[in-house]
Chain A
Amino acid sequence: MIEVTNLQKSYGNLEALKGLSFKVPRGQIVGFLGPNGAGKSTTMKILTCYMPPSSGAVSIDGHDAFEAPIEVKKRIGYLPESTPLYSDMTVYDYLVYVAAMRDIPAQEQDARVRNISTTCGANDFLGQDIGTLSKGQRQRVGLAQALIHDPPILILDEPTSGLDPNQIREIRSLIKKLGQDRTIILSTHNLTEVMLTCDRLIIIHQGAIVADGTPEELEKQEARNPTIILEVGGESLDATAVSAAVDALPSVNSSANRSNAQGRVSLSIEGRDGADIRPDLHALAVAEGWSVYELRRDALDLEGIFRQLTRQA
């Protein structure tokens, strides 16, 4: 259980955090979302006892981060932004070192290192120097060192930045797996990532929380109508006629033309009053004799929410 109360942090004149408060229950995966410089990393540095806040309190399982940093550090596995590792050590030596620093008895260190390397997929390059690893491999080692003491809480600062799409998918599924029995806080700029991995989303902007909830809740909160994508086709189909027919439906608020080519018309349509307008659209297509190529609800429109919430004041 993580409890953050009225966290404030200033660097000189710059107010990085302006009173953050939130609670994270056991077993939740929370995504911190926000533009660069919003205060995500600062919050994580305070949670991990790298530095204290200017004011406010952090308590982890009832231990105050300022009063009992060692107790707090023991419960947390941390992967800082950009994964700083000692490049002149081999992966194995490094993980054994972290295991020793994490109070794992000498006789268990080897087994633990091999075990966690298997989980994180770092087994194949245990003997390599960290300096020679690719970005994806480094990230695996970074995760392995954060997990070596089996912490109940994982804090990951941009765990997928700089990775290619395949690596991102692998790390993401690893995080999901780890999140089954752990509390995880991760930060990212990537909206897809948050939707796919996180139970809950905290959007931070200019040092303050501007939204907090599940992705679905946030959408509702914004009271936006879902956007529907409709693509129809037919011989000698007229784009303006299609738009006019769609707009004429009582449940449709507005529509916009996405593309039209070779007897195909694609529209993006917004309904009214939050209603699902897909049945209406289907009925219309049938009545007009259009062939339906696509009829779907647009992906959760978090991007729009994000843009709206984090617009520069």
Chain B
Amino acid sequence: MNKTWTIARRELMSYFNSPIAYTAIAVFLLLAGLQFLYGFITPGAFGQGADFFEANEASLRVFFEGTPLLFAIFLPAISMRLMSDELKTGTLELLVTLPVGDMQVIAGKYLASLVFLAVTLLFTTPYVLTVAWLGSPDVGPILGGYCGLFLIGATYLAIGLMTSTWTRNQIIAFIVAAMICSGLYFVDGLIGNVWESTRPFFESISFKAHFQNISRGVLDTRDLVFFLSLITVAILLAAHSLESRKWKA
């Protein structure tokens, strides 16, 4: 556990020593902010042909609905370097010849990306404050929304970490992870709409459906289990792929 944290700390140091982290957070906040603003100024964005003021509703619904999709691009950009960079520069050889287990390496990397996600979410609290200042929003959906964002973000990061162990090329790791994440987000809308009878199945594996449940403030164990099991599978596959160097016989 100690070494997991040491690895995570080093990873975070690398994140915040380089401009990548700041650029990525800035771009994300810009897009999330535009989206938040869009909720204010566009009639109909809140349904029933009403804008933020007319609807007389203080909520972050548009923010919570749009962010998972932004995350599907933003978070793979954060996770892509985790292992690919080690593979490319050869530093992996030094890392795994230190007295640590492969699982500790993966856990440390994942932990670092989770901290990064938490910091990013912290930067969005001005939206909450704005809404709270303009009206009196329901606390439940906001808490639920943040829980949902963290869970879906953690799932994206696990998938991104997994693809990052597959290739030394960060761009490939990014594209594959972004495709898996956005694909699984949309899958019910894409296939379910066309082929109605498959809808229940695709809804059950769609990020969007599970996320919406949580962000409504309904914390169902089924949704929790869905995200946690995806994270577990992705992390195990990542550790597996790191270990695979050992059986290329």
Residue of A with least CB distance to B104: A101
Residue A74, interface by CB 8 Å: yes
Beta-carbon contact of B98 and A98 below 8 Å: yes
Q: Quick check: B93 and A70 within 8 Å, CB to CB?
A: no
Are B101 and A10 in contact, with the CB atoms below 8 A?
A: no
Contact A70 B13 (CB under 8 A): no
* Contact of A187 with B by CB under 8 A: no
Q: Which residue of B lies closest to A97 (CB)?
A: B10
Residues of B within 8 A of A73 (CB): 97-99
Identify the stretch in A75-83, A208-216, A251-259 within 8 Å (CB) of chain B at 4 or more residues: A75-83
Please state if A89 and B98 are interface contacts (CB–CB under 8 Å): no
Q: Tell me the chain B residues, 1-58 only, with Cβ under 8 Å from chain A.
A: 3, 6-7, 9-10, 13-14, 17-18
Q: Find out whether the CB atom of B93 lies under 8 angstroms from the CB atom of A50.
A: yes
The residue of chain A having its C-beta at the shortest distance from the C-beta of B5 within the complex is A100
B residues 186-239 with Cβ under 8 Å of A?
none
Q: Give chain A residues whose Cβ lies under 8 Å from the Cβ of B94.
A: 78, 80, 84-85, 145
B130 close to chain A: CB less than 8 A: no
Q: Is B70 an interface residue (CB 8 A)?
A: no
A84 touches B98 (CB 8 A): no
Q: Which residues of A contact B13 (CB under 8 A)?
A: 89, 93
Residue of A with least CB distance to B88: A84
Instruction: Report if A190 contacts B (CB, 8 A).
Output: no
The answer to whether the Cβ of A22 comes within 8 Å of any Cβ in the partner chain is: no
Are A50 and B97 within 8 A (Cβ)? yes
Is A52 an interface residue, CB under 8 A from the partner? yes
Q: Which residues of chain A have C-beta atoms less than 8 A from B97's C-beta?
A: 48-50, 73, 76, 78, 80
Q: Are B96 and A82 in contact (CB under 8 A)?
A: no
Check if B17 sits within 8 Å of A101, measured CB to CB. no
Using Cβ atoms and an 8 Å threshold, which residues of chain B touch A85?
A: 91, 94
User: How far is A80 from B3 in the complex, measured between Cα atoms in Å?
Assistant: 22
Whether B14 and A86, one on each chain, are in contact in the complex, defined by CB atoms closer than 8 angstroms, is yes
* Size bin of chain B's contact surface: 20 to 34
Return B9 CB to nearest CB of chain A, in Å: 8
A residues in contact with B7, CB < 8 Å: 101
A87 CB–B CB distance under 8 Å: yes
Cβ distance B148 to chain A, nearest Cβ, rounded Å = 33
Bits for A235-259, please: 1 = Cβ < 8 Å to B, else 0.
0000000000000000000000000
Q: Does A51 contact B (CB under 8 A)?
A: yes
Nearest CB of chain B from residue A67's CB, rounded to whole Å: 14
Evaluate contact between A100 and B6: CB separation under 8 angstroms: yes
Assess the A89–B99 pair: CB atoms within 8 A. no
CB distance from B94 to the nearest CB of A (A): 6
Chain B: CB-nearest residue to A77: B97
Min distance, Cβ A69 to any Cβ of chain B, angstroms: 8
Provide the residues of chain B in CB contact with A78, threshold 8 Å.
94, 97
> Across the interface, which residues of B come within 8 angstroms of A50, CB to CB?
93, 96-97, 245
**In angstroms, how far is the closest chain B Cβ from the Cβ of A49?**
6
| A73, B98: Cα distance in complex, Å | 6
CB pair A102 B89 closer than 8 Å: no
Residues in B54-103 with C-beta less than 8 Å from chain A: 89-94, 96-101
CA distance in complex: A175, B22 (Å):
42
Partner of A101 from the list B3, B101, B248 (CB cut-off 8 Å) is B3
Residues of A within 8 A of B9 (CB): 97
- Residues of chain B with a CB closer than 8 A to A273's CB: none
Give the docked Cα–Cα distance between A204 and B212 (Å): 63
In the complex, A54 has a CB within 8 A of chain B = yes
Q: Which residue of A lies closest to B91 (CB)?
A: A84
The verdict on B129 contacting chain A, using a C-beta distance below 8 Å, is no
Interface residue from B17, B90, B99, B246 paired with A74 (Cβ < 8 Å): B99
CA distance A242 to B246 in the complex (A): 64
The answer, yes or no, to whether A288 is at the interface (CB within 8 Å) is no
Q: Does A103 contact B (CB under 8 A)?
A: yes
A 118-151 binary contact with B (CB < 8 Å = 1; else 0): 0000000000000000000000000001000000
**B122 on the A face (CB < 8 A):** no
Shortest beta-carbon distance from B165 to chain A in Å: 16
* CB neighbours of A103 from chain B (8 A): 99
Residue positions of A touching B, CB distance < 8 A: 9-11, 45, 48-52, 54, 70, 73-74, 76, 78, 80, 82, 84-89, 93, 97-98, 100-103, 145
Q: List 16 A-B contacts (CB under 8 A).
A: A51-B245, A54-B249, A70-B99, A73-B98, A80-B90, A80-B97, A82-B90, A84-B89, A84-B91, A85-B91, A86-B89, A89-B10, A89-B17, A100-B3, A101-B7, A101-B100
Question: Could you tell me which B residues sit within 8 Å of A by CB distance?
Answer: 3, 6-7, 9-10, 13-14, 17-18, 89-94, 96-101, 245-246, 248-249
Known: A45-B93, A102-B99. 14 other contacts (CB 8 A): A50-B96, A51-B245, A51-B248, A54-B249, A76-B97, A80-B90, A84-B89, A84-B94, A86-B91, A100-B3, A100-B6, A101-B98, A102-B98, A145-B94
Top 6 nearest A-B pairs by Cβ distance?
Answer: A84-B90, A73-B99, A84-B91, A48-B97, A101-B98, A100-B6
